[in-house]
Amino acid sequence: MDRQQVAIYGSLKRGFYNHHLMMGSEFIGEDCLGGFNLYSLGAFPGVKRGKGKLHVEVFAVDPPCFERLDVLEDHPNWYQREQVTTKFGLAWIYLYLPEVDNQLQVTSGNWLES
């Protein structure tokens, strides 16, 4: 597997506590995607398809980095990887699988550490 793009929106972003897992990746840029709802799940966020917007950072990741991300996100049990279109081309994003009925939706689309 060659380097692939990943769109991240939470604790993996630059300056956040899980960003160290992005070692070996290359920052490509930022984008704002439509069609997603962002939820605050306490110490981390979750995203589902919806009508909102989502601010992401796009990175090119190598296979070892991709494996670390899959482990962190418990793919495919807790988060499911799907491809989305960004202004930099196709990127993988991790969508949250459990229900979010009682969770706080972050309407700005920009998750900040709590």
CA 76 to chain centre: 14
Can you give the length of the chain in residues? 114
- What's the structural domain count of the chain? 1
Identify whether 111 is part of a domain. no
Distance CA 95, CA 88 (A): 19
- Note the pLDDT of residue 104: 86
The DSSP code for 99 is: -
Identify whether 85 is part of a domain. yes
Identify whether 11 is part of a domain. yes
| pLDDT by position in tens, the chain (length 114) | 589 999 999 999 999 999 999 998 999 999 999 999 999 988 889 999 999 999 999 999 999 999 999 999 999 999 999 999 999 999 999 999 999 877 788 999 998 744
The CATH number of the domain holding residue 21 is 3.10.490.10
User: Cα–Cα–Cα angle for 114, 66, 61, nearest 5°?
Assistant: 90
- Note the pLDDT of residue 2: 87
Contact 65, 12 (CB under 8 A): no
Question: What one-letter code names the amino acid at 72?
Answer: L
Identify whether 24 is part of a domain. yes
Residue of 30, 57, 67, 73 with catalytic role = 73
**Exposed/middle/buried for 29, CB within 10 Å: 0-12, 13-18, 19+?**
exposed
Identify whether 107 is part of a domain. no
Query: Which residue from 92, 76, 8, 84 is spatially nearest to 44, judged by alpha carbons?
Result: 8
- Note the pLDDT of residue 111: 85
Q: What are phi and psi of 40, to 5 degrees?
A: -90, 120
The β-bridge partners of 38 are 47
pTM of the entire predicted model? 0.93
Identify whether 17 is part of a domain. yes
Identify whether 114 is part of a domain. no
Identify whether 35 is part of a domain. yes
- Note the pLDDT of residue 1: 56
Range of 8's domain? 4-101
73 is catalytic: yes
